[in-house]
């Protein structure tokens, strides 16, 4: 273990990235994880000032982008999470075309709820142990999910004093509705996917979880529910950090890391882009710049740390502002192939038939599959 090290250290030559990562972050490590902050000399010198400047700069750029709209209310509410940032950067034309479906949250479903339910169940498991004044035992994924679901159901009942209170959450309310409807297939699918998330998270981070780890975007007393930021009260823009956990306490001196867990790495974007977005979103929401972003992969077992610096935050901000800019363009111009950016996503794109660049790309791509020629 490195002498001053507290985090996973890149191992030369052990590249294991998912795709399109052209940076040197795409390396795997199985170094132990600890929660000690980097030393002052390694860390951003002024995490609070950095976040303040980032807020001012992001607000300015977002206001500039919104000023291009034909009228103040024309854009509507803009929710900027990682998925929107990835989509807007991957192919602006396709992202604008999604306006036909409203860009909105499509509603919970097992595939969308797996991570949220897994985090909520793990947070509940830890909170129960905290309440009992004992260390949390290694959670058994399916049992942890079922215990959390039963606790959700107990929320509306008169308590017998044994069931710990569980704070409400959107996904929790959806689970209750599914339960009320007697939809056991959906509950089983949720259990399968949430259990997979929980198992992968605990496997990659280890158990006991690293000291100082706090779950994010999860309900209950053992977690932080949401990390969101709006440029101002009247702004239609909401930026949401999608990190799964935080390592270390938030103080004015910084020194905390974000943890982003990816069940599968193949369907996410380049690791540096994801780290940049979540770092910027967290700095905006918390008001303190994180020290680093630890990205883990359930399928690869990788743990990769990206130090947060001005360049990374600038890249993240660029991604955030790009979403707003495309939403402004979309007021008058939805899908338009002039700025289409063909990629593997063209295979599943609803706009392919109207997209000459995409069709041209597909004519080549269809002659190859998985890196091999198709006969």
Partner 1 sequence: MVEGLGDVLARPPQPPPPDGVAALRTALDDGARAARAVGGWSQDEPLRLSKHLVTGLLRCPRRALSDDHGVGGDDVLVGWVVDAAAKLAAVSPRRHVTVDAAVAFLTALGDGTVADHLADLGAAAEGLTSDAAARIDRLTASLAGVDAGWWPRVEDPVRVALAGGAVTVAGRIDVLLGGPPTGRPGVIVEVKGGRWYDGMRADGHLYALLVALRDGEVPASAVTIVSDGTTHVEHMRPALLEHAAERLDEAMRVAARLAAGEPPAMLPGAHCGHCPVRPDCPAGRAWRPPGDVAASAP
> Interface residues with partner 1 (CB under 8 A)?
15-22, 26, 30, 109-111, 138, 140-143, 146, 183-186, 188-193, 195-196, 199-200, 202-203, 206-207, 263-266, 297-301, 369-375
Cα 173 to chain centroid distance, Å, stands at: 21
Question: Nearest distance from residue 342's CB to partner 1, in Å?
Answer: 13
Q: 58 and 279 in contact (C-beta within 8 Å)?
A: no
Q: By C-beta, is 109 or 251 nearer to partner 1? A: 109
The dihedral region occupied by 164, where left means phi > 0, alpha psi between -120 and 50, and beta the remainder, is beta
Cα–Cα distance measured from residue 232 to residue 259, given in angstroms and rounded to the nearest whole number: 27
Three-class secondary structure of residue 301 per DSSP: coil
The nearer residue to partner 1, 78 or 145, going by C-beta atoms, is 145
| Greatest alpha-carbon span in the chain | 67
Tell me whether residue 209 or residue 281 sits nearer to partner 1 (CB atom). Answer: 209
Residue 47 beta carbon to partner 1: minimum distance, rounded to whole angstroms: 32
The smaller minimum CB distance to partner 1, of residues 140 and 253, is found at: 140
**Min dist. Cβ of residue 373 to partner 1 (A):** 6
Question: If phi over 0 gives left and psi between -120 and 50 gives alpha, with beta otherwise, what is residue 287?
Answer: left
- Kindly tell me which of 38 and 86 has the beta carbon lying closer to partner 1: 86
Minimum distance of partner 1 from residue 367's CB (angstroms): 9
End-to-end CA distance of the chain: 50
* Secondary-structure breakdown of the chain: helix, strand, coil percentages, each rounded to the nearest 5: 45, 10, 45
DSSP 201-265: HHHHH-SSPPTTEEEES--STTEE---EE-SSTT-SEEEE---SEEES---TT---EEEEEES-S
Tell me how far, at minimum, the Cβ of 301 lies from partner 1, in Å. 4
DSSP classification of residue 33: P
Instruction: For partner 1, give the closer residue by CB, 16 or 74.
Output: 16
- Least spacing, CB of residue 142 vs partner 1, in Å: 6
């Amino acid at each position: 273990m490195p002498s001053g090290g507290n985090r996973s250290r890149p191992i030369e030559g052990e590249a294991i990235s998912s795709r399109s990562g052209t940076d040197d972050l795409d390396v795997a490590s199985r170094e132990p994880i600890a929660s000690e902050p980097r030393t002052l000399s390694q860390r951003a010198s002024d995490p609070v000032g950095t976040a303040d400047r980032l807020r001012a700069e992001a607000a300015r750029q977002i206001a500039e982008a919104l000023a291009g709209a034909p009228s103040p209310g024309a854009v509507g509410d803009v929710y900027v999470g990682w998925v929107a940032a990835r989509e807007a950067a991957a192919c602006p034309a396709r992202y604008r075309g999604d306006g036909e479906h409203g860009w909105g949250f499509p509603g919970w479903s097992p595939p969308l709820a797996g991570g949220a339910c897994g985090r909520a169940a793990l947070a509940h498991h830890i909170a129960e142990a905290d309440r009992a004044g004992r260390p949390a035992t290694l959670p058994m994924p399916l049992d942890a999910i079922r215990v959390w679901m039963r606790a959700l159901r107990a929320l509306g009942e008169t308590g017998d004093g044994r069931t710990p209170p569980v704070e409400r959450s959107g996904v929790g309310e959806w689970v209750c509705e599914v339960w009320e409807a007697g939809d056991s297939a959906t509950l089983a699918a949720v259990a399968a996917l949430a259990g997979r998330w929980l198992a992968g998270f605990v496997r990659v981070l280890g158990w006991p979880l690293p000291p100082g780890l706090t779950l994010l975007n999860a309900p209950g007393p053992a977690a932080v529910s949401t990390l969101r930021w709006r440029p101002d009260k009247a702004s239609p823009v909401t930026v949401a950090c999608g990190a799964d956990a935080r390592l270390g306490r938030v103080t004015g001196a910084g020194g905390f890391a974000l943890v982003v867990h990816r069940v599968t790495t193949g369907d996410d974007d380049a690791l540096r882009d994801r780290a940049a977005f979540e770092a910027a979103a967290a700095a905006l929401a918390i008001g303190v710049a994180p020290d680093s972003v630890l990205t883990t992969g359930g399928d690869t077992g990788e743990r990769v740390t990206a130090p947060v610096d001005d360049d990374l935050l600038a890249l993240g901000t660029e991604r955030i502002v790009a979403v707003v800019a495309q939403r402004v363009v979309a007021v008058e111009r939805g899908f338009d192939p002039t700025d289409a950016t063909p990629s593997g996503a063209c295979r599943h794109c609803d706009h392919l038939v109207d997209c000459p660049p995409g069709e041209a790309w597909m004519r080549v791509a269809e002659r190859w599959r998985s890196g091999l020629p198709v006969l």
